[in-house]
Amino acid sequence: MTRTAAKRRTRYTVLALILFSALTLGAAFAVALGTRYHTRLDLTATREHTLSPRTIETLSKLDADHTLVISARFQQVDQRALQRIRDLLDAFTQASPRISIREINLNSPAALDQAEAVVRISLQNHSDAAQKHADALTRASEALEGIAERTDEIAALAQSLVQRQQPGEFRRTWNDNASAAAAIPPLAREAAETLRAHREMPILAEVLLPQVDAALTAIEPTLTTIDVTLAGIMTLCQQTLRTAASEDAALARQVLSSAERARDDALRTRDALGALDPLDPLSVARVLEAQETVLILGPAQTTAVDFQSLLPRRLEDAGGTRLRMAGESLISAAIAASANPVQPVLILVHAEPTNLMRSSGRLSQGAENQIGMLVGRLRQQRVRVHEWPVLLSPLPPDRSTLQIADRETPIVWFVLGAPGGGQLGERIERRDRLSTAILRLVEAGESILLTVGPSELPAIGDTDPLVQALPLFGITSDSGRLLIRRASTPQGPAPAVDFTLRRSTGEHPIARALDALPTYLSAATPLRPDDQPPDGARVWPVLAIPASADTWAMAAWQSLLRQGMTRLPNPDPMRDDVEGPWPIVVAAERTPPDTAQNGSTTQRLVAVAAAAWFTDATTQAASQVDGIVTRRFPGNDELFDASFAWLAGLDDQIGAGPSVRDVPRIADLSDAQILAMRWALIAGLPVLVLLSGLAFRWLRG
């Protein structure tokens, strides 16, 4: 019995050791596999730990390595917020092998070495540009040495002319200018030495970089002195030539020729240095010296995001999803800008009697209240925003006026819609001016985002001028009929002109980006694709109000407004459009008739037949869901972003952004889906029980 118990214990011990060894080896093998092959699952309702489709699409297009550098005083940052930022940056590295992360802790003694390493990475990416800047400084210093030699000669010749002049005011003027010319050579040689010193100037202690901007600032007073002094001598030479004897005239011509060449050299030197683009490694070094930042280092250029903009404004938001969404949007836009230096331009087209933008580029107070958030978001994405006030300027701004040197830079013209206010005659005149502007843009082959609202003109037998260009794209606008619906209220059924759409129409990229996002559209009118569009034209419905017995497009809508929307009318099939669905957002392309003139083979247009769909009052409308303040209509912002990207030819940047994931959103169920769910509940469970019984019976034999 004792031997049997001992054997049993031995056997159990051996089995336990084998099991322990197997588990240990299995765990080690799993760790080794997990190190090489791993995946992450985001099971949160809002997918808050997964980058948005738009960001993933941007990262998938990267064809070169990018480095994200976070430089901050980490000990002074709320650790929950810092961890959220690190998680976000880690998500970028997980999404693309082209993204790597570097941290610079400004509280660490190694911060300077880490910053220098980052600058050297940028210098490696832009070594050709750095050499170009250094060579420009060398040429400029040589030019100033030449100016010094030439002005020595000019001063001597000018002094000879002084000696030949009769005593008087003219001689004193010549003497003063000759003395000024004699003072130029030491100034020019000192400036040349300054340029040579800036050719390799240390920054961040040990990194040597050419600093053209600082050099130009340092020698600017000398260049101005040279310009003014030589211009004065040239004027005196011209005066002398009109009255001088032949010998004096020959001497004056010699001085004039030398002064012209020296002055031209000085002006060319200033222009050559001023025309150089900023040097990326130098910009990186200065940003790292000056502030906490997140840098995106790419092969084309470096972009920066203020680190403070990634932090919560309130301490209680440090762990919230809003912090992550805002950070993802900023960093994704910076990566896109770094990968593609050519950024689109948006021009606001309107018929208001005053400018929407001040000379400083800031919006006026009224415009700030209407579209301040929209314009601010565009500028965060490094989009330049301008305006064309058609009442104040009949001709559109051209690329030279807008200082757009690159012909490849896409421009999108955003027509804000029909002007409001004023008497009927004034509104008609402003509509006509805006219509002329739209037709001019269409004829030029420009990309247009067009807002179309309801018009009272068809009711008096006239044509709405704002829609005259739409037939060229194969679109028919029924702006004389207003879409209304029968709404349920505590006081009973009442008319309403607002619609919240949650399902898009068709497979256009804009439609895919909007699907399942609530989009608010008010004062809408139908836009119908033509059955026989012009040659080369294509139309895609994007959003449509579905057919319903409680919805119709009303012709006599003005009387309804005059009654204060208090009486619910019945549809008049003879005058009203009762056959849905009613498209109200469409995208279109066409081939312009004269592609050689406008330089484009395809022209794009997005038409939105609703009033004020883009204003801050709509896009920033918020509600509270489970204690989270969330936007009610995220589709409006996405409609603008997707339309802008498509019109700019940036199709790969179309997709839902991070801001739509603040709460879980479920699209409206279709009739087929509801029917399938009903049958599953009614018949599915009994059938499942029956099948289970049959299977059990069969297994028992």
Give the DSSP H/E element, type plus range, for residue 483. Answer: strand 482-489
Question: How far is CA 338 from each of CA 26, 344, 629, rounded to the nearest angstrom?
Answer: 45, 13, 32
626 Ramachandran zone, left/alpha/beta (phi>0; psi -120 to 50): left
Q: What per-residue confidence (pLDDT) applies to 596?
A: 45
> What's the pLDDT band for 197 if we cut at 50, 70, 90?
very high
As a whole number of angstroms, the distance between CA 300 and CA 338 comes to: 6
Cα torsion angle, 86, 89, 95, 100, sign: negative
According to DSSP, the β-strands at 628-631 and 622-625 are antiparallel
Percentage, residues of the chain above pLDDT 90: 22
Residue 235 pLDDT greater than 80, yes or no: yes
Helix/strand/coil (H/E/C) assignment for every residue in 252-298: HHHHHHHHHHHHHHHHHHHHHHHCCCCCHHHHHHHHHHHCCEEEEEC
Residue 486 pLDDT greater than 60, yes or no: yes
Give the DSSP H/E element, type plus range, for residue 496. Answer: strand 492-496
> What's the pLDDT band for 35 if we cut at 50, 70, 90?
low
> What's the pLDDT band for 203 if we cut at 50, 70, 90?
confident
Question: How far is CA 450 from each of CA 202, 597, 643, 661, 687, rounded to the nearest angstrom?
Answer: 52, 23, 10, 28, 54
As a whole number of angstroms, the distance between CA 532 and CA 550 comes to: 30
Mean pLDDT value of segment 207-225: 89
Between 202-211, 620-629, 657-666, the lowest mean confidence (pLDDT) is in 657-666
Q: What's phi and psi for 208, nearest 5 deg?
A: -100, 120
Contact 465, 618 (CB under 8 A): no
Cα torsion angle, 462, 468, 474, 475, sign: negative
Residue 325 pLDDT greater than 70, yes or no: no
Question: How far is CA 50 from each of CA 46, 331, 406, rounded to the nearest angstrom?
Answer: 9, 14, 36
Q: How many CB atoms lie within 10 A of CB 561?
A: 14
Kindly state the tokens that stand for 516: 């399942």
Residue 608 pLDDT greater than 90, yes or no: yes
Q: How long a stretch of residues is the chain? A: 701
Highest mean pLDDT among 135-139, 166-170, 254-258: 135-139
Please tell me which residue, 170 or 671, carries the higher pLDDT value.
170
CA torsion, ordered 620, 624, 629, 630, to nearest 10 deg:
-50
Mean pLDDT value of segment 13-32: 84
The mean pLDDT value of the chain amounts to: 82
Mean pLDDT value of segment 37-56: 62
As a whole number of angstroms, the distance between CA 7 and CA 51 comes to: 60
Number of H helices, E strands in the chain: 19, 22
Please tell me which residue, 651 or 311, carries the higher pLDDT value.
651
- Write the CB contacts of 28 (distance below 8 Å, at least 6 apart in sequence): none
CA torsion, ordered 328, 330, 333, 334, to nearest 10 deg:
-110
Q: What three-state secondary structure class fits 404? A: coil
Beta strands in 162-282 (DSSP E): 201-203, 207-209
As a whole number of angstroms, the distance between CA 686 and CA 680 comes to: 10
Nearest to 82 by CA among 287, 286, 292: 292
Q: In what order do the strands lie in the sheet with 99-105?
A: 99-105, 66-72, 293-297, 302-306
Q: What per-residue confidence (pLDDT) applies to 131?
A: 92
Nearest to 651 by CA among 340, 403, 404, 371: 340
Mean pLDDT value of segment 601-623: 89
CA torsion, ordered 426, 428, 430, 436, to nearest 10 deg:
-150
Q: CATH for 341-649, among 3.90.320, 3.30.300, 2.60.40, 3.40.50? A: 3.40.50
Contact 481, 557 (CB under 8 A): yes
Q: What per-residue confidence (pLDDT) applies to 425?
A: 74
* Cα 621 to chain centroid, rounded: 22
Q: What's phi and psi for 391, nearest 5 deg?
A: -75, -30
Contact 266, 185 (CB under 8 A): no
Burial of 158 (0-12, 13-18, 19+ CB in 10 A): buried
What are the domain boundaries of the chain?
Answer: 127-278, 341-649, 672-701
Rg of the Cα atoms in the chain: 36
> What's the pLDDT band for 422 if we cut at 50, 70, 90?
low
> What's the pLDDT band for 176 if we cut at 50, 70, 90?
confident
Question: Which amino acid does the sequence have at 7?
Answer: K
Please tell me which residue, 670 or 114, carries the higher pLDDT value.
114
> Residues 69-103: pLDDT tens digits?
888 888 888 888 888 888 888 888 888 888 899 88
- What CATH number should be reported for the domain whose range is 127-278? 1.20.120
Highest mean pLDDT among 210-219, 236-245, 403-412, 629-638: 210-219
Kindly state the tokens that stand for 200: 């390799």
Predicted TM-score (pTM) of this structure: 0.67
Q: What three-state secondary structure class fits 382? A: coil
Contact 238, 253 (CB under 8 A): no
> What's the pLDDT band for 318 if we cut at 50, 70, 90?
very low
Nearest to 73 by CA among 48, 29, 108: 108
Nearest to 634 by CA among 670, 669, 664, 604: 664
Q: What per-residue confidence (pLDDT) applies to 663?
A: 45
Q: How many CB atoms lie within 10 A of CB 317?
A: 17
